[in-house]
């Protein structure tokens, strides 16, 4: 069969594309082509276009370049993929079987699996390589574990490890959300109470004192300060609320950018109570991710690079990459990590013993369990740890406002006009 005949038998698909023309305008359209990568190549070579913004098969959802799936959906798919591989299905057949079930409610993940299956079929590449083309959908830990499974021929074992790792990561995210829920709710209620008192209660008393003294009252200093703040809140509250919403939206969109993380991550480690929690979470991820990669025979240099990106904190990420650089020079991991205050002596000692005995994965798992228990204990006791701070804050706020309102009553003769 000639090449032309082979091309003719290949089923073409209709793709939606969005490009920027040389005049700066955005152009959209559809085209029938054998593969998505082929159409991208054709559009890129077209001199009328300066860049290709999006190419997707017609009927598939529109997914942004940095869209991420929900953690719980990724856990469910990882577990299904593990079961399918264990019963003997090939990797692509397993993906197609999961897609055929129609139970994936996460649009981003469904799109990612569809693209992976298509790339495996049209380009003849392995699953790990196809997943690596979508780094925001499929985490590096997942990709590298599958790559190690493909190299060793133990895909079922690798899939089970991926499912366990994804589930552990999702459980950790759930614990963090649980720990943050109570203080977030209390803080929101405190701000609401403060705003109500300052904008509606305090002005009424100010009007009362002004009427009693015909505007000539000499109010106590504390009362004057609270009244001054109250008068400014008419414009300050809407302004701060608008800035807060815009900042929240901007942070959600840019929270993974390097410059944002380099500014925010060090601050996280210094927050009272929460700083220790974030540090233990990062240490737990370091131990568990590196242990998982070592168990799956990923080269230690590559494993350190992947682990650095998975710990979730740029300060610790830089420390791990520095240790990796030392490893490239033939040094031990212990020396650079011992100089970094983020890594406890206990962990460094375990790593040192592991390097001598060759039991790196076992040692890391053991220390990781210690940090996991610490995280569990901290999150379970978070309400008890945070409650005193908020109670003191709320009590202080109410006391100051109450004193500001009622102090003039103690000098009522000076306040009431004799005329």
Query: Hey, how many other C-beta atoms are within 10 angstroms of the C-beta on 328?
Result: 10
Q: What is the mean pLDDT of residues 251-273?
A: 80
Comparing 18-27, 63-72, 221-230, 360-369, the range with the smallest average pLDDT is: 63-72
Q: Does pLDDT of 346 surpass 80? A: yes
Quote the CA–CA distance of 63 and 77 in Å, as a whole number: 18
Taking a C-beta distance cutoff of 8 angstroms, is the pair 298, 144 a contact? yes
Kindly report, residue by residue over 6-23, the tens digit of the pLDDT: 333 445 777 777 788 887
Does the pLDDT at position 333 exceed 60?
yes
Q: What does each C-alpha distance from 334 to 290, 322, 350, 361 come to in angstroms?
A: 15, 11, 9, 15
Mean pLDDT of the chain: 78
pLDDT of residue 211: 67
- Other Cβ atoms closer than 10 A to 74: 25
Quick: pLDDT tens for 120-148.
887 788 888 888 888 788 887 788 778 77
Q: Tell me, what's the pLDDT at 301?
A: 85
Q: What is the mean pLDDT of residues 19-46?
A: 79
Q: With pLDDT > 90 as the criterion, what percentage of the chain qualifies?
A: 1
Q: 82-115: per-residue pLDDT in tens? A: 888 888 888 888 888 887 766 677 788 888 888 8
pLDDT at 359 over 50: yes
**For the domain 274-380, what is the CATH code?**
1.20.81
Look at residue 5 and tell me whether its pLDDT is greater than 50: no
Q: What's the rounded mean pLDDT across residues 52-57?
A: 70
Mean pLDDT over residues 401-419, rounded? Answer: 66
Evaluate if residue 419 carries a pLDDT over 50: no
Long-range interactions of 351-355: CB distance < 8 A, separation 24+: none
């Amino acid at each position: 069969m000639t090449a032309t005949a082979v091309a003719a038998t290949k089923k073409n698909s209709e793709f939606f594309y969005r490009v920027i023309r040389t005049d700066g305008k955005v152009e959209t359209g559809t085209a029938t082509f054998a593969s998505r990568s082929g159409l991208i190549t054709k559009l890129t070579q077209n001199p009328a276009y300066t860049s290709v913004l999006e190419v997707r098969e017609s009927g598939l959802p529109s997914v942004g370049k940095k869209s991420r799936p929900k953690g719980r959906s990724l856990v469910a798919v990882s577990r299904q993929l593990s079961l399918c591989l264990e019963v003997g299905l090939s990797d692509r057949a397993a993906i197609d079987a999961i897609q055929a079930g129609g139970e994936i409610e996460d649009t981003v993940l469904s799109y990612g699996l569809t693209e992976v299956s298509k790339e495996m079929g049209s380009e003849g590449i392995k699953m790990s390589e196809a997943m690596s083309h979508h780094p925001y959908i499929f985490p590096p830990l997942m990709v590298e574990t599958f790559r190690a499974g493909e190299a060793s021929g133990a895909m079922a074992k690798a899939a089970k490890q991926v499912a366990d790792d994804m589930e552990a990561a999702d459980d950790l995210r759930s614990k963090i959300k649980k720990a943050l829920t109570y203080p977030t709710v209390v803080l929101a209620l405190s701000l609401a109470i403060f705003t109500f008192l300052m904008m509606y209660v305090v002005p009424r008393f100010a009007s009362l004192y002004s009427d009693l003294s015909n505007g000539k009252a000499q109010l106590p200093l504390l009362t004057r300060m609270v009244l001054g703040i109250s008068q400014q809140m008419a414009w300050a509250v809407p302004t701060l609320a608008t800035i807060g919403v815009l900042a929240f939206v901007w942070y959600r969109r840019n929270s993974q950018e390097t410059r944002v993380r380099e500014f925010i991550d060090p601050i996280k480690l210094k927050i009272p109570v929460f700083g220790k929690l974030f540090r233990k979470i990062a240490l737990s991820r370091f131990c568990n991710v590196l242990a998982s990669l070592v168990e799956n025979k990923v080269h230690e240099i590559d494993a350190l690079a992947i682990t650095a990106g998975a710990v979730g904190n740029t300060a610790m990420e830089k420390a791990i990459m520095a240790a990796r650089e030392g490893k490239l020079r033939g040094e031990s991991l212990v020396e650079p990590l011992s100089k970094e205050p983020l890594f406890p002596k206990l962990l460094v000692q375990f790593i040192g013993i592991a390097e001598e005995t060759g039991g790196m994965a076992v040692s890391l798992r053991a220390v990781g369990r210690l940090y996991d228990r610490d995280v569990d204990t901290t999150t379970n006791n978070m309400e008890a740890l945070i409650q005193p701070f908020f109670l003191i804050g709320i009590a202080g706020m109410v006391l100051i406002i109450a004193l500001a309102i009622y102090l003039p009553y103690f000098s009522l003769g000076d306040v009431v006009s004799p005329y």
